[in-house]
Amino acid sequence: MIVRRLGTSDIAAARALNTVYAAAFDDPVTYRADRPDDAWLARQLDRDEVIVLVAELGGVVIGGLTAYDLPKLEAARSEIYLYDLAIDAAHRRRGIATALIAELQHIAAETGAWAVFVQADYGDDPAIALYTKLGVREDVMHFDLPPQPRA
């Protein structure tokens, strides 16, 4: 297995990762519907603040993560938000998620990020166990606020 960061030429791997996300999160609407075109994906993969890592076995994407480097205003630093992480069901419990997170932590160190943070849903016991093993737990509340057009 190899872990690597995607770049502008990795459109097929990005699409394969979205397929893994759709299955792992049982959310085909979010991860498969209204797919962006290749040019849009290439622009996102070219951005330094968009971090997409994949785990590949024999050239096949079996897992990955998407993270965002968020610059802060209160200090000259950034934090990396690990937004999505999923491993294909047939390849779980083999250290792949830990390897992906370790690579993200290396990227955080290289870019001078202050921390990597991630959220987990109550009831997602495997994710909670993984993140508890790797970091410090904070109990916070999460709210989705809808965009509001100007009147």
| Domains in the chain with CATH codes | 2-134 (3.40.630.30)
Determine how many CB atoms are found less than 10 A away from the CB of residue 95.
12
User: Which of the four pLDDT bands, split at 50, 70 and 90, describes residue 130?
Assistant: confident
pLDDT in tens, 137-151: 787 777 777 888 888
Averaged over 78-84, what is the pLDDT?
95
Averaged over 30-39, what is the pLDDT?
83
Q: Full-prediction pTM beyond 0.85? A: yes
